[in-house]
Amino acid sequence: GDSVTQMEGPVTLSEEAFLTINCTYTATGYPSLFWYVQYPGEGLQLLLKATKADDKGSNKGFEATYRKETTSFHLEKGSVQVSDSAVYFCALIRNVLTGGGNKLTFGTGTQLKVEL
């Protein structure tokens, strides 16, 4: 079945440091890939997504590129802020454009802590 593997956290960085959170996936066909962010005590928010190979999703300074050859979707940010402290989830879904029972498969989440 489909699966998503993320690096274990917590990841602790100083403000303005470079961030990489690794994500690899296993899925049949051509899934769409997502990064969600969960701030403390809140639900998930979509951070960015990519729907086909070589697409780059970006939002709020975060980027991730859909790499089919390595089945990866690593999340990066050039300069993190304290306000980026949260849990980040990588996820995939197949056949998103047709909907109909397709389900998100989530990774286990990676906690990011950014310190001054």
Partner 1 sequence: GAVVSQHPSRVICKSGTSVKIECRSLDFQATTMFWYRQFPKQSLMLMATSNEGSKATYEQGVEKDKFLINHASLTLSTLTVTSAHPEDSSFYICSARDLTDEGYEQYFGPGTRLTVT
- Nearest one of 25, 27, 12, 41 to 90, comparing CA atoms: 25
Residue span binding partner 1 (CB under 8 A) among the ranges 18-26, 56-64, 71-79, 100-108: 100-108
Two tokens at 15?
């403000």
Q: Which of 15, 18, 108, 115 binds partner 1 (CB under 8 A)?
A: 108
User: What stretches of 29-91 show up as alpha helix (H) in DSSP?
Assistant: none
Site string for partner 1, 45-84 (x = CB under 8 A): xx----x---------------------------------
Two tokens at 27?
């899925």
